[in-house]
A and B are shown apart, each in its own frame.
Chain A
């Protein structure tokens, strides 16, 4: 596997500078991160970037991107990313989003289905579970929450690299920022948009939904709902996997992505 060295750019979209990792070869794939923030080119991204040009922006209000105190919900973020695609010159990219990033991707698809190619939703929030509940992530102190996001920290290959060291003051500041912006976007209605289910049938793009069977944050029943509501969706549930499939099972996850996008010609 060729090592991929992504470049960092700041793209000016409206009034906001968007910190973005860009790297790889091939058709564009827009990757939208979850509430934990933009982890950049981790193992699964390296694999996928062999076949696609990955654009991994940091959401406004998160990490090293500019503030967006005027945003009130994930639908604002979705409209913003459609604008981002114009600025970045991304024409019908594939879009992959994880958790609140998956919710954002789903909202984007309902707003402008013709602007994107294939859709990959990874444990997306956005729909109210029919029986269970989405875990209240703000109720728990972050150190207590982190292990709840995965099935078993011991099986996560990049656990030490991502979470092993204590946070530097700069990283701590980013962690607080990420949590604050997540609250701004998802507090009420908590982690879902009551109107999203009515719009999802508009989306006829081929869609892959990936979920960890042991997800303790967003219950897998929401995956069933997304599959029902989207016209051309497949749901794959990964065993022994929690809410972070991209880092819990990076190789298997990348394989699912490449199989779906038709890029894994060398496997």
Chain B
């Protein structure tokens, strides 16, 4: 099983009491609380941590993108990927991912992903996501078009990568008369494509049909298994075999020299389960963003919101894994047995988890955990 390092690049640099005055930390929390000096230092720090994760032997470095929120100030997944393409040597660079429905120019996106792949020597794993509702508000793209634009943007990017230009694209949402990108990915026919899932059966089936790597995020094991079943259903429709290499899972994880220290560090993940997800349902799921089936599955997938769970419950449910390297390796092995996955994505830094704690966790993962789970 391969391990991936991931930080949301949080900007938890304001008094919590201020954030609590607003209905949500997303969209509504005024950006006068954005601290430019601290952001400068944090970006440097977060990139150093990614580079260290590459050096100690993580199989991959995952970057993501959000907007209008202190929970994630990585506002350009292709920018961070391009930096890491140059400053790291070995690990895959997992973009998970580009938010396709809010993209106005898929051709530019195809070019940018290709450029990171070229700089990195073919290390890009290109994730495509539908985004959370907040990004629809941020971009003002009609959420009624979310799935249509996701699929059309995907189709155009794939065509850019696999069919010779110049060609014309006249779709429902995208129109280009001269497509001929002079920047194509190093990997042939194109970088592997990854798709995350939290609650949409349609997305799981869609990914299965295409043989993309499918990664549920922070859901209970039984829900992950159910999503994998949908994925297999899609794969079976086209006679595709599903190997562990096509299945991943994302959790939060930290290790330290002692269990006490690890459990203390693990508390930083609670912020991302509750505070940063607080807000009206319209912010996260605006009108039309989800199908009826998706809405019903979402209710089933989260009978209890992550935000309503205590730290102890989050640990017991394996949403957070924190312990000594041996304990963490055991838990990762359990996740692997439960889900049959080939990739475990670790959200490994959050909130106010400091640089020394993060670096020590990365170091111990590299020295003891990665070797222990590599053969699973």
Seen from chain A, the residues whose Cβ lies within 8 Å of a Cβ on chain B are 138-141, 176, 179-180, 182-184, 187-188, 190
Contact = CB atoms under 8 A, between A and B. Distances in A.
A188 B142 contact: yes
Contacts of B143: 183, 187
B286 interface: yes
Given A139-B137, A140-B282, 14 more contacts: A138-B282, A138-B287, A139-B282, A141-B280, A141-B282, A179-B287, A183-B143, A183-B286, A183-B287, A184-B144, A184-B288, A188-B140, A188-B141, A188-B142
B281 interface: yes
B73 to A, nearest CB: 23
B257 to A, nearest CB: 47
A131 B243 CA distance: 59
Contacts of A139: 137, 280, 282
A180 B281 contact: no
B282 A180 contact: no
B288 A180 contact: yes
Interface in B134-164: 137, 140-144
A187 B142 contact: yes
Contact of B142 (A141, A176, A179, A184): A184
A180 B289 CA distance: 9
A190 B141 CA distance: 11
Nearest to B139: A188
15 contacts: A138-B286, A139-B137, A139-B280, A140-B282, A141-B281, A180-B287, A182-B287, A183-B144, A183-B287, A184-B288, A187-B140, A187-B142, A187-B143, A188-B140, A188-B141
Nearest to A72: B142
Interface of B: 137, 140-144, 280-282, 286-288, 292
Nearest to A173: B292
Contacts of A184: 142, 144, 288
A180 B280 contact: no
B142 A183 contact: yes
A180 B144 contact: yes
Contacts of A183: 142-144, 286-288
Contacts of A190: 140
A140 B142 CA distance: 16
* Most B C-beta atoms less than 10 A away, residue of A138, A176, A180, A188: A138
A47 B286 CA distance: 38
Contacts of A182: 287
Nearest to A186: B142
A188 to B, nearest CB: 6
B166 to A, nearest CB: 28
Contacts of B280: 139-141
A187 B282 contact: no
A261 B83 CA distance: 69
Contacts of A141: 280-282
Contacts of A188: 140-142
* Most A C-beta atoms less than 10 A away, residue of B140, B143, B144, B292: B144
* Most B C-beta atoms less than 10 A away, residue of A176, A187, A188: A187
A93 B115 CA distance: 61
